[in-house]
Amino acid sequence: MKHEHRKSPFHDHEHAVEFDRRAAKSEIRAELEKKLIDMLALKGEELVLDLATGTGRFARPVAKHIRGGRVIGIDQALAMLRVGHEHEDPVPGYRQVAGEAGALPFKDDTFDRAFVSFSLHHFGRPALVAREILRVLRSGGQFIILDPVLDEPRDSLDQRLEERINQVFRRTHGADFRFHSAEGIHNLLTQAGFRIARTDLPTYSFDQDGMEGIPTGRHWLEVAEELEGESPDLAERLRERYFRWERKGEAVHVEGSFSYALICGEKP
């Protein structure tokens, strides 16, 4: 875990500010926020945990749906929490806590809901995290995972592509980074002891210059550029499965789609 701390760029204040700025401008994230709020089905009195809350970009709108209850956001990166704390739109029902996803500083059977957005792929030990969430949820409580997902590999070329994608992202985000598939998330939840209550797998298409507004988009362009030079068969598979790219001077035109999982597990 200490290793993960050193590697993560989220501990850097400038990175945290930049993440928050990009997140605010993403239409895809805005669409996913609505879906997350629908899936949480809040009545208003709930105690909700936002795991790896970052700057609170999802926690804040969720907290606006709460009256008597509260959203507690936990994150290991103080820089992200600080940017969230200094936000121009403070929400009374949102509190932040510094801490580790794999060792939650909460008692058993505490929360009515938990969610994690755009962070599962950063956890080195996701099974441990899923068991921690199960522990802190009340019986009947629900945990929603929202994360970009890769397609389930169909052959060895897909497997090699998945490995290369993760390798490129690890250069920025550290050795723990790993994209999951929707099936992988189902398995993670059921193996921890959850019952799958709901699944939504939206796909968002894009056709634009540059990756602005597309979560994790910047690194996808690094993947494309590297594969183009080193492995034409993997570059072609990337085009088939995810997106095409075409350089136009300084700009790169991208056209394709990425899928996201919103998967809700319920504690029996």
Ligand X SMILES: C[S@@+](CC[C@H](N)C(=O)[O-])C[C@H]1O[C@@H](n2cnc3c(N)ncnc32)[C@H](O)[C@@H]1O
- Closer to ligand X by CB, 201 or 251: give it: 201
Q: How many residues does the chain have?
A: 268
- Closer to ligand X by CB, 58 or 111: give it: 58
State the minimum distance, in angstroms, from the CB of residue 31 to ligand X.
Answer: 13
CB-based contacts of 119, cutoff 8 Å, min separation 6: 51, 52, 54, 101, 147
Question: Does residue 75 touch ligand X according to CB under 6 A?
Answer: yes
- CA–CA distance from 86 to each of 55, 82, 170, 202 (Å)? 9, 6, 29, 32
Which region among 69-77, 150-158, 163-171, 192-200 touches ligand X (by CB under 6 A)? 69-77
Q: Cα 122 vs. chain centroid, distance in angstroms?
A: 8
Task: Give the Cα separation of 133 and 74 in Å (integer).
Answer: 12
* Residue choice 71, 94, 117, 144 for contact with ligand X (CB under 6 A): 117
Question: Does residue 220 touch ligand X according to CB under 6 A?
Answer: no
Question: Does residue 77 touch ligand X according to CB under 6 A?
Answer: yes
* Residue choice 22, 36, 62, 119 for contact with ligand X (CB under 6 A): 119
CB-based contacts of 43, cutoff 8 Å, min separation 6: none
| β-pair type (137-149, 251-266) | antiparallel
Question: Does residue 76 touch ligand X according to CB under 6 A?
Answer: yes
Q: What is the total count of residues that contact ligand X (CB under 6 A)? A: 20
- Closer to ligand X by CB, 102 or 265: give it: 102
* Residue choice 32, 52, 161, 192 for contact with ligand X (CB under 6 A): 52
Question: Does residue 168 touch ligand X according to CB under 6 A?
Answer: no
Q: Could you give phi then psi for residue 18, rounded to 5 degrees? A: -65, -40
Binding mask 182-201 for ligand X (x = CB under 6 A): --------------------
Whether 47 and 112 have beta carbons less than 8 Å apart is answered as: yes
Which single residue is written with the structure tokens 């629908």? 38
Question: Does residue 118 touch ligand X according to CB under 6 A?
Answer: yes
Question: Does residue 114 touch ligand X according to CB under 6 A?
Answer: no
Question: Does residue 71 touch ligand X according to CB under 6 A?
Answer: no
Tokens of 236: 């072609």
* Residue choice 101, 114, 189, 224 for contact with ligand X (CB under 6 A): 101
Q: Is 115 exposed, middle or buried (0-12, 13-18, 19+ CB in 10 A)?
A: buried
Residue 6, number of CB atoms within 10 A of its CB: 8
- Closer to ligand X by CB, 97 or 252: give it: 97
Contacts with ligand X by CB under 6 A lie at 8, 10, 23, 52-54, 57-58, 75-77, 80, 100-102, 117-119, 122-123
